[in-house]
């Protein structure tokens, strides 16, 4: 039986898998290899197209070195608000690269980067 829509919960779990995978520098191909599935299957998990079973979620958590609770939306309420906010934006490789670079900058460089980003956004309005 073909499902017509993904549930919001499945999409959120998949997004959280992607965030954790990217934060650890693991490619879809690498994760797929360790899971014994195709990288397309990992894409479907991350897009919320395919459900992730509890056992598979445990495997993914073990591979990425995190707790299963990192993937479950209801348990995220215990996260500090700033982490919930940031996790909305750290779901691409570009964002992860930016955060890593930001962390390696001096305070003066970080301020300059934030000012530049704000100027770019303000210029679009």
Within a domain: 87: no
Within a domain: 42: yes
Segments forming the whole domain that contains residue 34: 1-79
Rounded to two decimals, the pTM is 0.67
- pLDDT tens digit string along 1-48? 454 466 778 888 998 999 899 888 899 999 999 999 999 999 999 998
Please state, in angstroms and rounded to a whole number, the distance separating the CA atoms of residues 65 and 24: 9
b/e map of 95-124 (b: 16 or more CB within 10 Å)? bbeeeeeeeeeeeeeeeeeeeeeeeeeeee
Checking if the pLDDT of 82 tops 90, the result is no
The total domain count for the chain is 2
Please state, in angstroms and rounded to a whole number, the distance separating the CA atoms of residues 95 and 89: 7
Please state, in angstroms and rounded to a whole number, the distance separating the CA atoms of residues 52 and 60: 10
Within a domain: 84: no
């Amino acid at each position: 039986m073909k499902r017509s829509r993904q549930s919001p919960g499945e999409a959120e779990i998949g997004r959280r898998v992607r965030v954790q995978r990217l934060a650890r520098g693991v490619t879809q191909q690498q994760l797929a290899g360790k899971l014994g599935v195709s990288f397309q299957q990992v894409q479907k998990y991350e897009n919320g197209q395919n459900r992730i079973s509890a056992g598979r979620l445990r495997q993914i958590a073990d591979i990425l070195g995190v707790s299963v609770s990192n993937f479950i939306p209801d348990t995220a309420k215990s996260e500090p608000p700033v982490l919930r906010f940031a996790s909305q934006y750290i779901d691409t490789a570009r964002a992860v690269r930016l955060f890593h670079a930001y962390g390696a900058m001096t305070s003066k460089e970080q301020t300059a980067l934030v000012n530049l980003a704000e100027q770019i956004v303000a210029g679009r309005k």
